[in-house]
Chains A and B, each alone.
Chain A
Amino acid sequence: MSDSLLLNILLLSPLLSATLIFLLNISIAGVKQYIYTFLALMGSGISALLALYISYFSYAENQVLGSHLFTWLSIENFIVEVALKADALSSFMILFIAPVSFLIHVYATGYMNKDKSYGRFFAYFNLFIFFMFLLVLADNPIIMFIGWEGVGLTSYALVGFYFEDIKNTYAGNKAFIVNRVGDFGFLSALMLLFIEVGSGGLSFDAILSNIGQIEPSMLSLIAFLLFVGAMGKSAQIPLFVWLPDAMAGPTPVSALIHAATMVTAGVYMVARFAPLYNLTLDVSLFIAYIGAFSALFAAIVATRQFDIKKILAYSTISQLGFMFMALGVGAYSTALFHMFTHSFFKALLFMGAGAIIVAFHHKQDIRELRGIRESIPALFVMMFIATLTISAIPPLSAFFSKDAIMSALYASGHIELFIIALVASLLTVFYMFRLIFVVFYSKVKQAGASNSRSMIYPMAVLTILSIFAGLLNVPEIFGGNLNISNWLNILDKQFFISHSDEIILMSVNTLLIIGVIFYTYKRYAYSDTIEKESEHSLVANKFYIDEIYSAVIVKPLYALSVIFDKNISHHLIDNTIHRLALYYEKLGVVFSYSENGNVRYYALYMLFGVVSGFTYLYILLRAAL
């Protein structure tokens, strides 16, 4: 079987199953649920297996698979090929996207069991994977943009999945509109790239080999605009507001789209344009600072949230902030590796949260979810391991990835970034263990409804992955050889940090983390501290960011559009057109008198016509003679 065929099947199998589910769903009422389940799991399962196979080949044999599907546009030198390429970076992306998608599909079959829109859910879900693959496998930024918009679209559809409640629809709208701001940046950057280096071809390789021709200020602008796109998709300050609201969707959606895959698209994009960002150090530093502030801000907000999914949403923003910090200082493969481990433990956390929510019949306030440790011990163990992982306790996977980010920040010489990252990571430990201690360690005992096995087994797999995924990129200090970094082979900036420094950093970090865990335990476990925390403090209200945005951007824009609607659209444009139509009609009435149907008048008009024609000819002839 040829290699390009594998890539095509990987891409198209989710699309095929999405189409089939969609057609079944709209054409036949009352299709048995297991048919949808079968189709959805086939679509994502086939692509997961192929993704493992392809990335193994890329890893072991350094093969670059490519597939040219067709030429989409060919206008002089503007040629858009629909082509896929699985180089090391893309293979690495599908290595975790496809299996995590599959696991969450399995989980979703349990979570969405007996839902009346079961088919619609899996049609969207499979369509999402298709677009995500298109995004990471695209050979040129235009195809990537289609995937980018596609995942935004399916995200919109899934956030507003329960559209009977208008609040969910608003959340979907918010996600879509805020992302539009980011997409504006991305699209402008693409246009600028086309103007500057479009003649040399539009594939990533061609663009990145030609960026030397662009003058530095233009390059910085392009880099900045690309990052605006990443900001929107990856929910960084100032475009993060949509992600917490996007939790309105079903929990598998939050796990797959808003934690493990789609929100990492921004990180992927920056890493994909790494050669460009290596030339624009000012923009890179800006990225690092945006990442730092997002990490810190989201971590602070997460410490005072009560909705279990909101806590995890802010945690996602915070972890993405860590990735952008690493990208900003030039440690691309480190950021990608953290994205890799993050997708496992954050998907696990969301799935655990979903399981708790199901156990309590769709309540989400952690003050009401207390005391199910005894009734569902497996859930407790897995959530606890996931929390230890996100806290970066050695030797769990996030320890290796987050510690690598910390060392890179320290070694890059930006001590202020390092300190922000340290504070943010300690806050991460605090809010995550606050969640764990409040939910699982309480005097109250409740028996939750039991979860189905299809929800527990994928979580078990992800638990194992969360524990051991770090072993793929063990730093040399522990006798490892940075397999993934070597495989990715991105132009990382090289940092030199002595082993003694690194060990001191790690131990201080770990000690601080353990200290914070004990503090959190004292504060929240078996106590009702959580009940005393105000819901109306500055932090619990997210620093009033939503209100500020509403007052500064949304309301003025709304007022402006009302003014435009009334004055410009209604008075100026509509009225002008109505007038014109009215005058035209009146003119028609005047002319209609001449059309009286009387044949003798028509003969007269003809006579006038002939006479004037001859007069004209006569004048012409006179002039010629």
Chain B
Amino acid sequence: MLQEYMILSIILFCIGVVGLISRRNIIVIYMSIELLLNAVNLSLVAISADLADTSGQVISLIIIAIAASEAALFMSLFVVLFRNKSSLDADLFDMLGSKK
């Protein structure tokens, strides 16, 4: 069973990566990050069940808790960013780059 779980986890992770890189909407980028986290959570839980060791499940619970608090932070960030540029297009926020 472990192998299937791992394959699912990898697929989820790849979707997350592609979303992270290719999408321009910051909210979608945030969702992709959550997807990455949960792909890892899935693999952790699967391995933990396979080894009959609960520590993996504990870690994934902690990750979920942290991701929740992260979400609160992200929401406020979105508000601030939107106030600045009236848009949530990630490509508009490139002020740290070398100006051409």
Which A residues fall within an 8 A CB radius of B? 592-593, 595-600, 603-604, 607
Give the residues in chain A near B91, CB-CB below 8 Å.
598, 600
- The docked-state distance in angstroms from the alpha carbon of A603 to that of B96 is 15
Q: In the complex, which residue of chain B has the Cβ closest to the Cβ of A589?
A: B98
Given A598-B97, A600-B21, A600-B24, list of 18 further CB < 8 A pairs? Answer: A592-B98, A595-B98, A596-B94, A596-B97, A596-B98, A597-B95, A597-B96, A597-B97, A597-B98, A598-B90, A598-B94, A599-B29, A599-B90, A600-B20, A600-B23, A600-B29, A600-B91, A607-B21
In the assembled complex, B74 has its CB within 8 A of some CB on chain A: no
Measured in the bound complex, the distance between the Cα atoms of B91 and A603 in whole Å is 13
Q: Which residue of B lies closest to A603 (CB)?
A: B20
Chain A facing B: main interface SS: helix
Q: How many angstroms between the C-alpha atoms of A593 and B91 in the bound complex?
A: 15
How many angstroms from the CA of A152 to the CA of B24 in the assembled complex? Answer: 76
A322 to B29, CA, bound (A): 97
- What separation, in Å, do the CA atoms of A593 and B99 have in the docked complex? 9
Residue of B nearest to A593 (CB): B98
A595 to B21, CA, bound (A): 16
For B94, the chain A residues whose CB sits under 8 A away are 596-598
24 CB < 8 A contacts A-B: A592-B98, A595-B97, A595-B98, A596-B94, A596-B97, A596-B98, A597-B93, A597-B94, A597-B96, A597-B97, A597-B98, A598-B91, A598-B94, A598-B97, A599-B90, A600-B20, A600-B21, A600-B24, A600-B29, A600-B91, A603-B20, A603-B21, A604-B21, A607-B17
Give the Cβ gap from B18 to chain A, nearest Cβ, in Å: 10
Q: Interface of B with A (CB < 8 Å)? A: 17, 20-24, 29, 90-91, 93-98
Distance (Å) between the CB of B34 and the closest chain A CB?
Answer: 14
| C-alpha spacing A607/B93, complex, angstroms | 20
Residue numbers in B under 8 Å from A600 (CB-CB): 20-24, 29, 90-91
- Measured CB to CB, the nearest residue on chain A to B95 is A597
B76 → chain A closest CB, angstroms = 17
CB distance from A44 to the nearest CB of B (A): 69
Closest-CB distance, B26 to chain A (whole angstroms)? 9
Question: What residues of A have a CB within 8 angstroms of the CB of B97 in the complex?
Answer: 595-598
| Chain A residues with CB under 8 A of B98 | 592-593, 595-597
Q: In the complex, what's the smallest C-beta–C-beta distance from A49 to chain B, in angstroms?
A: 76
Q: State the CA gap A599–B89 with chains docked (Å).
A: 11
Contacts of A596 on B, CB cut-off 8 Å? 94, 97-98
Inside 8 A of B93's CB, which chain A residues have their CB? 597, 599
CB-CB nearest in chain B for A611: B17
CA–CA, A593 and B98, complex, Å? 7
Between B21, B22, B23, the greatest number of chain A beta carbons within 10 A of the residue's beta carbon is seen for: B21
B43 to chain A, nearest CB (A): 14
Residue of B nearest to A599 (CB): B90
Taking the nearest CB of chain B, how far is it from the CB of A401, in angstroms? 83
Give the Cβ gap from B31 to chain A, nearest Cβ, in Å.
Answer: 14
Chain A residues with CB under 8 Å of B95's CB are: 597
Most chain B CB atoms below 10 A, which of A595, A600, A604: A600
Chain A residues near B22 (CB, 8 Å)?
600
Tell which of A592, A595, A598 has the most Cβ of chain B within 10 Å: A598
Complex: chain B residue closest to A591, CB-CB: B98
The CA-CA distance from A408 to B20 in the complex, in Å, is 102
